[in-house]
Amino acid sequence: MSSAAGIERKQLLAQLREPIVWDVVVIGGGATGLGIALDAAARGFRTALIEARDFASGTSSRSTKLIHGGVRYLAQGNVKLVREALSERALLLSNAPGLVRPLKFVVPCYRPLEREFMRVGLGIYDALAGKRGVGDTHWLSRSETIAQLPGVKTDGLMGGVAYWDAQFDDARLAIALMRTAVRIGAVAINYVEVDRLELTGGRVSATVARDTQTGERLELHAKVVFNATGVWADDLRRLADSSAAALTTISRGSHIVLSGSFLPGTTGMMIPRTLDGRVLFAIPWHSRLMLGTTDIAVNRASWEPDASEVEIEFILDTARSYLQSPPCTGDVLATFAGLRPLFSPRAAQATKAISREHAIVIEHQNLVTVVGGKWTTYRKMALDALAQAAAIGLLHERPCTTAEMKLDVDPSVEAACRAAEAAALAELDEGERQVAAFAGFAARHEQAMRAEDVVARRLRVASLDRAAAARLKPIVEAALLAP
Ligand SMILES: Cc1cc2nc3c(=O)[nH]c(=O)nc-3n(C[C@H](O)[C@H](O)[C@H](O)COP(=O)(O)OP(=O)(O)OC[C@H]3O[C@@H](n4cnc5c(N)ncnc54)[C@H](O)[C@@H]3O)c2cc1C
């Protein structure tokens, strides 16, 4: 595995204790915060990022794993958002090739004219990508559709439409962002929670945090503080102003994971319209089949959201109309759910109608909240956030350099990760040894602190097979304690 330098928590903490004024403090280590920290550090700003739990432990490890323009946003007529995301897709395919890869989708069609309609819509999607397209949208006959999607329901199948998007490993991309940011000079640390914002003269003069491993208190001073706490953004804002009105609404999206045998192969299936009018994806994921998502409004952010029985049944029910072998509850190997932070000045709107575009809100002179958006556009969100901070004089104008920046993705590490995961899921003898070895590596190089960090995010076992994750946890715990 990698010969790159490890990351020492002791050193990161020592840097955080230095009595300096940081240019940038970022609160939150998901896609949004890591993107901002990387961009800021790349522009030469002294940058610290503080994450309360583990990197990507919030929404950023619970996505549908698509780097995409968003077919559903096209249906909403949001061409600008789609075009921008397709451009970011091309950059990510080039800058993180070991973690982001093209993925072919097929839409199976069962009604007259459905194929023609889908062909036009997906043709526009493709055209919006222009030269940055991944592959052509094209018709498929009935037999071609069955060949591309072995496992698709054949009764009444008339044909299909194939189009291209990209798939990624969200939690591992977050680690790549963290590692890249640290390599170029940022301090990015997990298990440090911000619990106080001090205001002096109406601006945030100190960000006060607690190392949840030791209880040590840390006080950081910065020219600008970015609030990138996703669905906790309003809680964070209320540390500065307890009466701040909500900027976000929250919705939950759930996924289920089945054996890959339900839809063998490497092509994803897109179901354009579920009974509640949504898009549902069935995607090959680490040799399994992942299906999602739902969209359920929820009142509060929670650290461990999970799919409800109703959502699981809804996804299964939809899948039964499209899969030759109908899955049932007993076939569900794992579920996972993420919370969408949706910027919404009008909280009463139906959540699926609210655009996923991000919002940047500046309060108390130097507290910049960045919320909404999607994984695909994390880089663009960072660019916008830093531009806004510069526009009001919080930071000097400096050029953004992330468009061409290769992220730290080591093919040998990713291969070891996949091998350990596959061996463990197949319950091979060497599986536990490989997982223990990877846990040790992740502790030294990727800031894995707890067993959950390894089974859920450095490896993806927890979202692929809950029983396997429970079996591996004690092995990982022992490996993390080993000197
Ligand atoms: C179900 C679902 C599927 C999705 N699928 C896709 C997809 O396929 N493709 C795509 O592009 N996008 C997708 N998205 C959107 C994407 O996942 C999110 O936009 C993105 O992950 C949000 O990242 P974030 O950093 O803003 O939030 P988060 O990832 O939630 O990060 C916020 C972080 O802040 C930390 N934090 C909170 N409070 C504090 C504090 N006081 N101190 C320090 N840290 C704190 C949290 O621990 C957390 O890690 C999906 C979203 C959902 C919900």
- pLDDT tens digits, residue range 14-67? 999 999 999 999 999 999 999 999 999 999 999 999 999 999 999 999 999 999
The whole-number pLDDT of residue 456 equals 97
pLDDT digits (tens, 9 = 90+) for 101-149: 999 999 999 998 888 888 888 989 889 988 888 999 999 999 999 999 9
| 173 within ligand 1 shell (Cβ under 6 A) | no
Question: How close is the Cα of 371 to the center of ligand 1, in Å?
Answer: 9
Mutate to test the pocket of ligand 1, among 67, 212, 232, 256 (most ligand atoms within 8 A of CB): 232
Q: Residue 108 C-alpha to ligand 1 middle, in angstroms?
A: 31
Ligand 1 contact, 54 CB (< 6 A): no
The whole-angstrom separation of Cα 388 and Cα 290 is 38
Q: How far is the CA of 388 from the centre of ligand 1 (A)?
A: 21
**Cα–Cα distance for residue pair 112/458, rounded to 1 Å:** 45
Cβ partners under 8 Å of residue 429, min gap 6: none
Give the helix/strand (H/E) hosting 221.
strand 217-227
Question: Poorest-confidence range of 108-117, 246-255, 290-299, 467-476?
Answer: 108-117
Mean pLDDT value across residues 358-387: 95
Establish whether residue 31 lines the binding site of ligand 1, counting it when its CB lies within 6 angstroms of any ligand atom.
yes
63 Cβ closer than 6 Å to some ligand 1 atom: yes
Closest CA to 55 of 442, 475, 410, 346: 442
Q: Does the C-beta of 28 come closer than 6 Å to ligand 1? A: yes
The string over 368-377, giving b where at least 16 C-beta atoms fall within 10 Å of a residue's C-beta and e elsewhere, is bbbbbbbbbb
User: Residue 280: which of 342, 348, 352, 330 has the closest Cα?
Assistant: 352
Residues 135, 102 contacting (CB under 8 angstroms): yes
pLDDT at 5: 77
Residue 78 pLDDT: 83
Give CA–CA dist 106/160, Å, rounded. 6
How do residues 194-225 score in pLDDT, each as one tens digit? Answer: 999 999 999 999 999 999 999 999 999 999 99
Q: What is the pLDDT of residue 72?
A: 76
The terminus-to-terminus CA distance of the chain in angstroms comes to 19
Ligand 1 atom closest to the Cα of residue 337 is 1
Q: Which residue has the tokens 């949004």?
A: 32
Q: Which two tokens stand for residue 373?
A: 């958006």
Q: Ligand 1 in contact with 36 (CB < 6 A)?
A: no
Beta strands 217-227 and 203-211, pairing class: antiparallel
The pLDDT-based confidence of 348 (bands split at 50, 70, 90) is very low
Cα(313) to centroid(ligand 1), Å: 25
What pLDDT, in 10s, does the model give residues 88-98? 999 999 999 99
Question: Cβ contacts of residue 330 below 8 Å, gap of 6+?
Answer: none
CB 137 within 8 A of CB 123: yes
The per-residue pLDDT of the chain, averaged, comes to 94
Q: What is the rounded distance in angstroms from the CA atom of residue 171 to the CA atom of residue 55? A: 8
How many angstroms does the Cα of residue 160 sit away from the middle of ligand 1? 33
Q: Residue 167 and residue 112: Cα distance in Å, rounded?
A: 30
- Top mutation candidate among 49, 60, 235 for ligand 1, by most atoms within 8 Å of CB: 60
**3-state secondary structure (DSSP) of residue 183:** helix
Token pair for 10:
């002791």
Q: How far is the CA of 466 from the centre of ligand 1 (A)?
A: 22
Specify the DSSP element, H or E, that contains 436: helix 429-445
Nearest CA, atom 19, ligand 1: 374
